[in-house]
Structure formats: structure tokens, C-alpha cells
Homo-oligomer: A and B are copies of this chain.
Amino acid sequence: MNSTQLFNHIQSKRSFLCVGLDTDYRRLPEHLLEEEDPVFSFNKAIIDAVAPYSVAIKPNLAFYEADGARGLRSLEKTVKYARSVYPELFLIADAKRGDIGNTAELYARAFFENLDFDAVTLSPYMGADTVLPFLRFAEKWAILLALTSNPSALDFQTTIENKSGKMLYEKVIERSQIWGTVDNMMYVVGATKAEKLQWVRAMIPDHFLLIPGVGRQGGSLDEVARYGMNRSCGLLVNSSRSIIYADSSPHFSEAAAEAARKLAVQMSHILDKFAL
């Protein structure tokens, strides 16, 4: 999928919502525990519920890897299901990988070929070597951590460089411009730092940004749109727990659909306001 196609899906669904599948076995609705693969059953129901209101799905790999081989099978089935039933969904492996050379290539093959994800999140600490192997796959994306939404993001990401006066996350964005394009590179910029989005937009007017931290972490959707939206939307806003754990009764999927629908309604108004 390229950025134009992604924008087309945003326009037709009137939503730029990404739903994070942080599926924790211990938080599943009780009635699902009798199923053969409770994690997959949960994910399948959530995907069916939120697909009308979202353009992207983002499983966080930790939740599957924590369960070993069984967890990976649930993930494989989840991706296969989403890919076959909702081919328009942009599938993000939230893996935050940061390895190099051969190793990065192996990860790229694992995520893009074996699992058929559209994108992988990557940590930039080790530099270009960690990113370039992912950019060799046609129509696949690398999503670089730039400014994250967690409290200790400020430990290192906002370190100010001596000569340039730029912060580390700005240097990450700037330096990576020669690695990829608007059609295969995005950046994670937390909604909890919405005011910083305007600086990011000044540097990269055309790239898509993946925005965590709206909802429970306190970021505002309106602020994110004000500072971060561009002519092709340029935003994927992620919400995880407030959608997938909206309810733990047998009606969990209706509650998830409703939580996603509410966000999509807000997004639709925002898209209208920006005449997109």
C-alpha cells in the first residue's frame, strides 16, 4: 500500500483510526477462555467490530511473544484473517525492533513475507543499518520511533545536540529523510506532545505520522489534528485499550465497535473541517 492508497481508505471510511491489538490473555472476556484459541477469537471479533471505523490495525508483538509459540500462532491467524477479509486495512507490527544487517533482514522477511504486515515499528538508536533492510520491500513501510508518548521519552529523545541545537528526535527525522520516502516511512510522534507536532510538520510536511497517546494517556484528538494534519490527512491515530477492553462481558465486541465508532465520528468531523 502506498500513501495515496492509505489516504483513499481514510477518505472513504472518514476515519484515520488505528486500533491497537494489545491482546492480553489475562484480560480476555471469560466466556472466550473455552475457545480453542481465545486470543484469536478475541482479535477476530474485535477486527470485525472495528473494521468499519478504522483504517489500520496494530498488534503489539510483545503480547503474542509473551505466550511463546502459541502466541505467535494466534498472531499469524489474526493477520491472515484481517488480510483476507479486510484487504483495505493497513497492518502494523508494533515490534519496535532495532537490529542490523542480516538480523534486520530476517525480521523484515518475518514481518513482511511470512506474516504479510504492511509496516513495522523500529527503534532508531542503532542508525540507518536498522532501517534500510526494511525499505527494500516494495509497498512496505518502516515506522520510526521519533518522539514517543511515555513519560521517560524525555530521558534521551529530547537531548539537544551541540552544534545544530536540534533535539535527538528531530535529528532522527531529519537524518532518515535520505533513507526512504513518503511512501515507505512514517514516524511515531506521541499525542501527549501535541505542540511539538508543528515542528515535526515543518520538517516533514508530507509524511504520515503514527500517533499514540490519545485517550487514556491524555492526548487530545483536536490538538493532534490542529498541529499534525496535512493535505493528505497524514495521521494515523492509535487507540488500544480504551477500544478493545471497553467491556469484558460477552458483549465486548459491540462495546469495542461503539468506542471505535465514537472516535471515527470525531475524526469524520475533523476531516470535514479540513475539507479532506
A residues at B contact (CB < 8 Å): 22, 24, 60, 62-63, 65-70, 72-73, 76, 96-104, 106-107, 109-110, 114-115, 123-130, 145, 148, 150-157, 159-163, 165, 168, 171-172, 175
When distances are taken between beta carbons in the complex, the residues of chain B under 8 Å from A156 are 124-125, 127, 168, 171-172, 175
Known: A76-B68, A103-B62, A107-B66. A127 touches B114 (CB 8 A): no
Known: A68-B72, A68-B76. A62 touches B106 (CB 8 A): yes
Copies of this chain in its oligomeric complex: 2
Q: Once bound together, how far apart are the Cα atoms of A175 and B175, in whole Å? A: 25
B100 touches A99 (CB 8 A): no
Instruction: Tell me which of B106, B145, B152 contacts A66 (CB under 8 A).
Output: B106
B171 touches A150 (CB 8 A): no
5 A–B contacts, CB within 8 A, in A order = A100-B148, A124-B155, A127-B157, A156-B168, A159-B159
A145 touches B160 (CB 8 A): no
Q: Give the residue among A22, A127, A145 with the most B Cβ atoms within 10 A.
A: A127
Chain B residue nearest to A109 in the complex (CB): B66
Min CB distance A127 to B, Å, is: 3
